[in-house]
Chain A
Amino acid sequence: MTDERPPAANGAAPGPPLLSVRSLRAYYQMRYFGIVREVRAVDDITLHVNRNEIYGLAGESSCGKTSFIKTIAAANRPPLNVIGGSVRFSFLDRDIFGLSEEELSRVRWKHLSYIMQGSMNVLNPVRRIRKSFLDFAFRHIGRPEREFFDIVERHLDRLHLSPAILKAYPHELSGGMRQRVTIALATICRPEFIVADEPTTALDVVVQKGVLAMIREVQQEIGSSILFVTHDMTVHANMADRLGIMYAGRLVEEAPTREIFANPLHPYTAHLIQSLPRIGDLSPKRALPGAPPNLSAPPPGCRFHPRCPLAMDICRRENPALTTLGPGHRVACFAASPEVRPTSGESDAPARAPALASPLEMRQ
């Protein structure tokens, strides 16, 4: 809400952003015996992804990263419901939530694709790789089968995979190869927008570096934008053009990657960067006390305040709005600058039925 235009720092992207998300809210809403419980997984997120850019999204598990991805791809299923906000892709003439199932399936893979997390489990184990390509891309490419496989083979070659793997079953390939196959699947239709959900978490370091370089290479070649989600800050440091940090369902900081590593303004970001172990550095690293909040009963005010070393009085009452403090640098923290103001009331309302909010509390 605070930043209507894409940051000026990003000179490479003329025109409107490829993806613009405005005050998106998506809650898990469950009804147990008439009691409504809400888990605010995506709470008032506004961000833009420019053309030809890798936007990194960082945050720990259960901070709402995956819910956010699902929502922007309109792949959310109840109980995850969109409460408000809009998601506009530049290749669509309207909000993605306005599309019918049929229209969505035409858009997916062709314009909007997805590199999934565990390559182990996403490829159908009883189908050869070529069948998977047929399943995913044949219809979108719309060429006769022989020509289609020519395209596939050329594309595999780009990812340094031999055409022979088309005949293989997933279990015959190594983890790195499988991950490259999923990247090939996601990029074969030359989509404008790719979501990469922890694509290298399960890989070891040597393979990881190769796979990351490959994602970047393909991205450059087909000129698409990537929303790159992972909790690993070192990966972000090397991949992302801009970086957004999520904490407990909210975007707390956003800036170009170098800026955020050089000058983190939010204490959570600062902690994430400072606690990274690195070779050649023996200084003791401190862990953040406490645990991420339960999103069905988030603390009032800033959601980070119970763990925050800089927490002030206002943090316990008011939720800081994401405020632009530098070129392309937005942050939601009262301690960062006096310019940061509370958000307008709405999202501060306590979650419904707070008494039964947490399954953990219910037991005590």
Chain B
Amino acid sequence: MSADLLAVDRVTKSYAFGGLFGRGAFNAVDDVSFTLDTARPEIFTIVGESGSGKTTLARMVLNLIAPTSGAIRYRGTELATVRGARARMDFMRHVQPIFQNPFEAFNPLKSVDRYLFMTARRFTDARTTAAIEACTDAALQKVGLSLAEVKGRFPHELSGGQLQRTAIARALIPGPALIIADEPVSMVDASLRISIVNLFKTLRDDLRVSIIYITHDLATAYYISDRIIIMQKGRVVESGAARAVLDNPRHPYSILLKDSVLSLETIGEGILGAARAGRQQRPRHGESVA
């Protein structure tokens, strides 16, 4: 058990709804299990549509909410036993989050560097201003930025990509073993998306950080992940090696997900070509150059 970095063991989270009459419970996450190995850092992807329980699962792994049943163990320690400020801080040192929308994750009235300095002061040995700045700068260098670019800036002064990379740098400051990235590229532009996704690869290969990558974008999932689980309505419907699963999905829901990915093979007619052709015999635009 101790070789596992993270063990999620039959975890369920249910929320009660309704009032006096007609009470019910809704399982946001239903009997999910997986483990991450300490020795082999990997990018573990959780895929699913909105409302499939991806974020709830992430919040449980971050110990922000407690599972209704089942257990999550980080290096053999059950998260339910992580209590008190000291223990929680120690846990946060090892497990760090990156959120979806960097513009919402940072307070617009605070300069971005304050988050970095605060993290450095809390989680590292750096005590002097110079040491804190050096440690922050080192983290920013890892994501292709530098403190000079970020210092004193407010979130609106940085581009979305810079801000998201700053968020990743912040998560790297404590030197975590596990990063939980909740839809880190869904708000980011196409040209920056690939730079952030590549950054995750670098983190895994060079810094040996395991990453739980939560997304609904199957194309980037295919590009970077090692293992994948596909969730629907709180349940894991398919899991395995990422490429094997995505090349050849078995479960009807996985097949639906894969079919919904807009393909590039159908440029100029696309998913909508069928709808168009069947409808009327209007000459199709863009066809004459094909």
Contacts and interface: CB of A to CB of B under 8 A. Distances in A.
B276 A237 contact: no
A216 B159 contact: no
B176 interface: no
Interface string A213-243: 1001100110000000001111101111110
Given A207-B49, A238-B272, 9 more contacts: A60-B190, A205-B260, A209-B271, A235-B262, A239-B272, A256-B288, A258-B267, A272-B190, A364-B148
B272 A276 contact: no
B191 A205 contact: no
A143 B56 CA distance: 48
Contacts of B257: 205-206
Contacts of A209: 260, 262, 271
Interface in B141-191: 148, 152-153, 157, 159-162, 189-191
Interface in B196-222: 197-198, 216-220, 222
Interface stretch (A8-16, A21-29, A179-187, A312-320): A8-16
Interface string B220-250: 1011000000000000000000010011000
B220 A277 contact: yes
Contacts of A175: 50
A274 B256 CA distance: 26
Interface stretch (A75-83, A90-98, A164-172, A283-291): A283-291
B284 A280 contact: no
A238 B266 contact: yes
B3 interface: no
A258 B190 contact: no
A364 B288 CA distance: 53
B190 A233 contact: yes
Given A204-B50, A212-B271, A277-B219, A220 B262 contact: no
Interface string A34-73: 0000000000000000101110000011100000000000
Nearest to B280: A220
A328 interface: yes
Given A328-B289, A363-B152, A275 B191 contact: yes
Contacts of B284: 12, 241
A208 interface: yes
B168 to A, nearest CB: 14
A287 B198 contact: yes
- Report the 6 A-B pairs with minimum CB-CB distance, sorted nearest first: A238-B270, A241-B285, A287-B195, A258-B268, A256-B286, A60-B189
A149 interface: no
Contact of B286 (A9, A216, A217, A233): A9
A217 B223 contact: no
Contact of A257 (B261, B280, B282, B286): B286
Contacts of A144: none
A12 B264 contact: no
B258 A9 contact: no
Contacts of A61: 159-160, 189
